[in-house]
A and B are shown apart, each in its own frame.
Chain A
């Protein structure tokens, strides 16, 4: 991102500073905050019965006549040129319909990158796809084989011989640091933050800490592999995809193949886990290209090995955090520097320093991060990009500082939590992290923690407690559109090209719509999951609920106008303006005058209409620029570390979340738990094995990348403050990503409390506790 962007965002922010809050979206608190009927109640997933029966159909399960199966051949060098390509044996192998290489691949444009400002793109790895002999990373697809069965395609792919002329490649993190770049901006923030003089603060501080923290490459590892079933009909393209960016994928594919967006149909009603990894990568493009060449539909379902070669992961980070504190714990200086990998063809900032710019008040700040360019597959967004590794470093450092000060870690945070954004001075829309700490500490039994490390032991097991703060910013995406169709029986159908990958999207928006329109749950259907529906922004940045919420709210306003118009004069509602009415009991009623009411059924019947339809759009999220909008959490962990083997066993986790109003406690608790469990994996086991000699990912099977198994997951207690955010639809902020943040730090802090050993490099595998 550029200096220009900084100037624009900075300019708008400055202007927003003078605009009264009530002029902005969310300026008047959403009335649903106070008027909840089904929102806030436990609701089981609407798609639960289909999912438990195996009747929910995923991308690789769409049947098609004449389907061909694809297999990929990947490069084995990181940089260079293809000099030899022998596909003869593959072409004549049983069942093979096509071998596609750069020699015969159709001409395709480079996929446009996913961006905060371009919701019609979903590209992650912004490089030409099979257009030349050039090799740009180890694992790039050099050939695609199509055959009648997957077995035949896989075998034929193994028969292809590729020769290379290798070029010098940049694959070593440490070495590439010397050439690191310093981008002007991160997401929509300026990268470099300097306020006061941290160096002086560190020298003068009563207590300080200064350490390096490291996190490795991570992979999303959804249980459903990335897959697509693809067909062309003339110049119309149909893609049954596993994606969290329906319209972005359609827009990108249209650009790649030089057709109109309206000629691309993407469907993805169920996604078997996304976490940032289900967007547009090379395989959909290659599958569509091959289908075009073969003139037959294609299923491209990636093997686990192909996934690590084609689906980027979370960048490794090396972070330096230095904290200077007065004797009373107040921060005098906060330094957060570091490196992550982001080649120029990547669209993702791993913005690990963002949290450090808003979480604590400090007299001085020195925050900046650098990006390293390697010849690798683009890194990408993975659950809480930035915040997940960033909170590990910052919140480990806070724990180290508390230890240095001899102060309770919660107390240290209490003394430093600001009442407004400590850098910009912008007011919080709502924030009460200390309430989260207080509620969580009580539930957890924090008062039973022994401050001195190695104080508790049961047999060979050392027992420790730790805590940390989690954080994730609020986001609402503009452009998200819904259509509400109200039929003659008073049933409302809400439709949008939104996504379901386990969040309970339809379940929650059904509750929302019911409450918004004054309907019982049974009278609302939510239809999502394909691009024939109104435009959907991505399922990312924990933004989908708020974006859909804003769109439904906007549509409901139009629905009121439309209903009043239809109702005409021969109604108790005659003469009323939209601002004077409310939705209630399946109809409209004058606020404060219950007798002036008419049901939807009656209005439509009198107007002789079978149904009416309106659309609503999520407006520009200017509130995000005026207010400091962050969700926070307090994470508590009790664990055991074997004094013999160094094995860590998490015994208990408590997470208390300050995320605005909780809309469906049942599905929300699951999302928080899910994030925290991914945090257990990040803390203890997850590490993609990148071979720096060759730039090749060696953890190519799911057995080589340890996501938590059942036995790794203890009972997890979830609480929330449930304080509405007056600036957001329904008073809610997104909850999909915050769960993972702070967890690795809480676990590492508890491990320090148990053992006295401070581990600053993830994951916390047994070997790291064996030696002093």
Chain B
């Protein structure tokens, strides 16, 4: 599964588990408006570490979190290179 598909499938899976109403997914969707909260993103990061073997947040130099879904996907794609 590509990095993009892994990220999207985790977003959908966690939304389902946490009973969150997910906004339609697109690259310019602002994560804060996605319907998921920060704990959901913590779970997504943990699951993606298991699935992809990487945690770009622990290796990143700055403390920012990606703004849009597209940013999040690119963040993982870059880290996986």
- A complexed with B: no
